[in-house]
Structure 1
């Protein structure tokens, strides 16, 4: 009888203990089953200036409720410096080909989850898996294009076919150039018969001397809106982005884009998530939104660089697709080359640029 009583007492105590444990757990989830906290509805974007329509940003916010804080830079080096100085300040940045190389080597980018960016399937295979980011581990493409020469044919009557033509004394004081060391030094190297990525001391010394001849003849250095000087008549020739030239053509059809015979400098801009980003999920939602065909069309019509989005290309009018200022002919693409990370030569290139402009 006592044994049975003791057994009943233990059973009651066990039930009480279980009830107490359940009560103590309340609404808590069992360890390992917690749902990830939803990110706040904010996205901090860092991009080139004059490169994304406000209407696109507004549509993203309207569809998702995510507020976009949009900041701009004027060069890849400026972007890199700010990301290094303030980790976690931005959730999405736009980085050019060679800069992606630099940033991945420095561990400055977060890996992407492409399954959360299904519209990546819209990207033309030509612009996937680039050499600087095989398998698109860190980036998805935004836009692509070239750096070449723009002229006002109303005021430039002689043929322009070479990078060397920028040194023609007739253009002194009427030249606009991108405020960018890699593109300007790269074009100078190509005018001398070198690759735009050449880093030998001999080649860089020649490029420095040649640039020193040109700098006094340059009216202005402008990476934000170099087309402005062509349109207001202060410049008649320029070292220009292709899309800036296409924009200028809308206001003045006499503006023409030239692919130098030595080859243009190609580029591809890419969306990436900086290391330490506070809102990476929102960043991938934004990437997926940008890669929609209709959104790509809106961007390409506002800023007529070349779109890597196959669905967007189908939607664009023929006059846009066939404009060589936007979409380089295949033969010109074969002659062109991309900038690459030049590693230990980077400080020397920056020093040359600082000295020739001072």
Structure 2
């Protein structure tokens, strides 16, 4: 189940087998907005499995106000954790500076790294994908994290302590995908499984469990998605919010620029877990 940015590398490396969409009729259930994505413009190799955003999860009681902006996080007087995701964090800074989050301009990426460095006064840690656990333990008041992870925390705690927000300036949208390895011994079986996952009820069951957004428009139209999730604009953003989201575009030219600046920033800040 490769995520969108990984698909670029897998296609370039001839690691994926082309799909025969005639064998996956339930592909018709996929939302039009999630078909033909930038990382696979003809869906030759992938179909979407789950999608979501990277935003701010926070402890409402400790923070004491509704968070709406990245500036709310950067200006917060308590403790904060960033996600160790170079394309998300630098992309967010680029967007705040008015640059393309997928720029190939090294100077612009360096400016984004400088922006993060000068807005790290409240940063306690640059964490792996465990922000939800850090919130639950009370280690930080606010974290940059995947949407579904925070909604899992909200469901599991059976409390009203936590919230997730897509900041108004926008953020990274990601899509995890189903794909078949180029060397798969039973590709017909794999395509049958993909078609099964794309069934509207199966797709709804998965998203109702993961708390991530379903790419299955039929599941949405048939009322199979849990209403508390479907009505939550931080899981299923409206058209205005959707326009503020950005995909990560990956290429051999872009990747080293981001990695170099992110590694240097982490070495400077020394906020390791």
TM-score, normalization by structure 1: 0.67
How far the C-alpha of 1:264 sits from its partner, in A, is 1.9
Higher relative contact order (CA 8 A, sep 6+): 2
Once the two structures are TM-superposed, the CA of residue 220 in structure 1 deviates from its matched residue by: 4.6
Q: What is the CA–CA distance in structure 1 between the aligned matches of 2:197 and 2:31, rounded to whole Å?
A: 14
User: Which of 175, 191, 198 is the matching residue for 2:103?
Assistant: 198
Q: Distance in 2 between matches of 1:344 and 1:317?
A: 42
Answering whether residue 151 of structure 2 is matched by residue 242 of structure 1, we say no
Specify the alignment match of 1:175 in structure 2. Answer: 80
2:224 to 310, 315, 338: 315
Q: Deviations over 1:46-89 (max 9, x none)?
A: xxxxxxxxxxxxxxxxxxxxxxxxxxxxxxxxxxxxxxxxxxxx
User: Which has the larger Rg?
Assistant: 1
Match status 1:218 vs 2:124: yes
Question: RMSD between aligned alpha carbons?
Answer: 2.1
- Distance in 2 (alpha carbons) for counterparts of 1:277 and 1:211: 42
Q: Secondary structure at the match of 1:132?
A: coil
**Which portions of structure 1, spanning 4 or more consecutive aligned residues, are displaced by more than 6 angstroms?**
none
List runs of 5+ in structure 1 lacking aligned partners: 1-93
Call closer, same or farther: CA 1:217–1:131 in 2, change over 3 Å: closer
Alignment match, 1:232: 137
Residues 26-175 of structure 1 correspond to what in structure 2 (within 5 A)? Answer: 94-168=1-75, 170-171=77-78, 174-175=79-80
Q: Is the 8 A contact 1:155 1:236 kept in 2?
A: yes
Matched ranges for 1:342-353 at <5 A: 342-353=251-262
In the TM superposition, what is the alpha-carbon distance from 1:232 to its structure 2 partner? Answer: 1.9
Matched pairs, number: 262
Query: What does the per-residue CA deviation read over 1:314-358, in whole Å, with 9 as the maximum and x for residues that have no partner?
Result: 212322210123211221001222111243121121122222223
Aligned equivalents of 1:317 and 1:226: distance in 2? 24
- In structure 2, list runs of 5 or more residues that go unmatched: 268-273
TM-score (norm 2): 0.87
Q: Deviations over 1:161-188 (max 9, x none)?
A: 32233322613xx222322211121122
Alpha-carbon separation, structure 2, partners of 1:288 and 1:161: 38
